[in-house]
Amino acid sequence: MLLWSDTFATHIELVDTQHQKLFELLNSLSNSFKQGDPSEAVINGILEELIAYSDKHFVDEELLMAHSKIDPRHLNIHRMEHKSFIYDTKNMWEHLCTEDDLIVISEKLVRFITSWLTFHILGTDQTMAAQLFAIQHGATPEQAYEARHTIKYDVSVTRLMLDSVLDLWQMSIERCHQLETKLAALNDGGQQ
């Protein structure tokens, strides 16, 4: 469960409102399997809604950055992260659906999305907001981009970001081990 707090606020009304909706959809996904045995159709429906809304949010955020003439270096990285989230979430669902336990699948998806949103909002989106604020107050996009390293993160925010990165890394390691095991089994089967 991911709860909205001022810690996640970018102070850009559209962005914060949409982030809150993403949290609601994520929590719906989480609640779908906490209330009993989930069906693949229910999980799929919530996940499709979450992905569609994420895609809409990402387009809105990218348009906001483009209209504000944010430095292309930031916009390109930001856009890549958005595309990666959509791809990774869809890909994870498709590959996890080969497993038997829907609760385990749902938990993995919720864990991934929670960690990704936490890291992205507290890192990339906060950097975006700082740059947009600087541009609105007279900085050039280049100056705003170069000043992104001066953002001071609260210790608790840094901790949340690090926990999210570590969780994403751990999930990657688990997936690599699963794939290595499957590959080894395929190689062993082919040599007999």
Per-residue pLDDT, 108: 86
pLDDT at 129 over 80: yes
Q: Which domains, and CATH codes, for the chain?
A: 6-191 (1.20.120.50)
Across the chain, mean pLDDT equals 90
- Asked if residue 161 lies in contact with residue 122, where contact means CB atoms within 8 angstroms, the answer is yes
Question: Which stretch of DSSP H or E encloses residue 5?
Answer: none
pLDDT of amino acid 100: 63
Please compute the mean of the pLDDT values over residues 106-130 and round it to a whole number.
94
Report the percent of the chain where pLDDT is more than 70: 94
Residues listed for the chain: 192
Higher pLDDT, 159 or 182: 159
Mean pLDDT of 2-16: 95
Instruction: Look at residues 128, 129, 114 and name the one whose alpha carbon lies nearest to residue 161.
Output: 114
Instruction: Read off the pLDDT of residues 77-104 as tens digits, 9 standing for 90 and up.
Output: 999 999 999 999 998 887 766 666 777 8
In angstroms, the CA 176 to CA 192 distance is: 25
Query: What number is the average pLDDT over the span 60-76?
Result: 97
pLDDT score for 189? 75
Percent residues over pLDDT 90 in the chain: 57
Do 127 and 148 touch, CB atoms closer than 8 A? yes
What distance in Å separates the CA atoms of residue 75 and residue 83, rounded to the nearest whole number? 12
Q: Report the pLDDT value the prediction gives residue 166, as an integer from 0 to 100.
A: 92
Q: Which two tokens stand for residue 47?
A: 């996940």
Q: Which residue has the tokens 């953002």?
A: 151
Tokens 């009304």 found at? 13
Please, which pLDDT band fits residue 154 given cuts at 50, 70 and 90? Answer: confident
Is pLDDT at 123 greater than 80 in this prediction?
Answer: yes
| pLDDT for residue 152 | 82
Q: What is the mean pLDDT of residues 183-189?
A: 85
